[in-house]
Structure 1
Amino acid sequence: MLIFNHSSSLTFTLLGIPGLESQHLWLSVPFSSMFLAVLIGNGAVLFLVVTEPTLHTPMYLLLALLMVADLISTLALMPKLLCVFWFNNREIAAKACFTQMFFIHGASVVRSALLVAMALDRFVAVCEPLRYNTILSHSLVGRLGLMALTKGVLLILPMPLLLQQLAFCSVVIPHTYCDHMAVVKMACNHTRPNRIYGLFVILLVVGLDLLLIGFSYALILQAVIRLNSRDATFKALNTCSAHLFVIALTYAPALFSSITHRIGHHIPPHTHILLANLYLLLPSVFNPVIYGIKMKEMRGKVAQCLCRGNV
């Protein structure tokens, strides 16, 4: 058995989607379409929020931060994936692999933390509407964004650092990107610390964040039940609907992908790899659409831009 010690010269090989190598060129069509949709959709929302003073509210500032996290995750994933699909360029240096891992997983942690902050925003909007601007000041939004970034860096940075201590029995990664668990499985020495830490991050991020989001919405539901007006109840629920769609779209495939990595041994590899890519891409694709449809101010600004363009 060959053993590859980690060094600056170590190079991994990404297989792409095992079992579907002959279909890579066809698969590149939907993937490149999603890549383009993420760049246009998230870029447009970010541009609108930055350039329109009327959108400088806590809700839209948090949305802009979410768009940034989505763009970072997608830009870390897609260029190398398309190189594998289009040019069969599968090699990736160890340092580049660990850097890609850090940005993909780090952006996912930041995204989750921002969804918690947005749940807080919806709680204040429904339960304390008269004090909304007082409680959610711009400085608080800035601190929430900084906390999300810090959480992403501190939780994910140990992953590549721990991997650098391992020797690898194989450098062929059956994946389209440097997923943490996919790389851990290539190591031939003691990987229990890596596996335990990866599970700890999942439980802390997904488990704790979902618990906080659930607690916020339990309080929102309690407040909505107390409302006597049917119109007020509908308005309150409508205020939260976009965020709830995004939460479902973000966490459901992520949880399934994480579980199948550990216990889904009978699931075909290509199914797992496709899902692992989609759980990164789908939220980034649909977030601008969901928020654009549900948020009146966003629709108004888009309409104004389109009207200016037709003049």
Structure 2
Amino acid sequence: MKQIQARNLYEGAVILTDFCPTIVTGLEVRSTGTVAVRLHGTGPTWQPGRTVLYRPHHRLTLCVVPAVAWRVHHQHRDRNTGQGAGATHTSSRLTPVYTVRQYWANGTDHQAVARLMEEHTVVTSIPITLDQLPGEGQPTPQPAEPGARRFYRLYGRGPTVLRTGDDVRQRLAEITAIHDREHGERDERDNRLAPTCPVRQCSRCVGGPHDLEPLEVVITRSEHETQFADLPQDWDYELTPAMAHKRVVAAYGRELRPQQPENRQGAPEEDGDLTCPKCGAGGVERKCRQWAVCSAPACTWGGLEFELTGYGPCAPGWTT
């Protein structure tokens, strides 16, 4: 994910709104201090044709981040014939455009360019539920595109890469265990008490309400041969997401849209199928992506949804 100011948004951008991916379908600068952004989203509570007003410097989060880079494949130039000879060497990823021209110009006396490759990278990060993670012991299904990779992470907590669903559940269990052990108050004998708030509301564990939300990250890469004359002429010294998006979409021939993953572990979809770990009743309700509460009148249990699947203990003292 990447932060972007409202004044730098572009049509086709996918941003987080109410922690759900939404597509920017239109932009209008209504004044020097207001940008009107027309959004399109999905879901039962979404309002079609929704328009949100932002300050130009308001920061938003991009879910789909495109990037463009180039690689120069060259050979050693023979002094007698002036032609390339020997093995072909490849440069590192070059961006922005002026570095490609500089690399090309500085090597003309001793190297011959064999080909110029343009590389497109698209990093898609979308919030998912725990039901959409692979089940226990299952590997992470990889995308069908060659060279693409899929992994997971938590929105506001490290590490950056969690390879499987088991890694995500283990990380959530570790954070919960630390919260239960370290973040309660002490009694008069200096004994640690159970925390009175859940981990997602603990300021020492999280910095925001969505920090423990799991994300699915998919990185796709593609490359094609191009010519020196086809390099962009209008953005030498900067590579904004809007410019990269325009070039990647032109190459793909379609808009960049995130795909919502399916339920990969066969977890129950109905609230009534979830069993409370405290009273044993089957009336647990999902309140958001990870938070669940028991609907039994005499029970006050509330906790993270992953505790219902046996991957973490029920935190004592958690109430709604």
TM-score (normalised: structure 2): 0.27
| Greater fraction strand | 2
**Which of these two proteins has the greater Rg computed from alpha carbons?**
2
TM-score (normalised: structure 1): 0.27
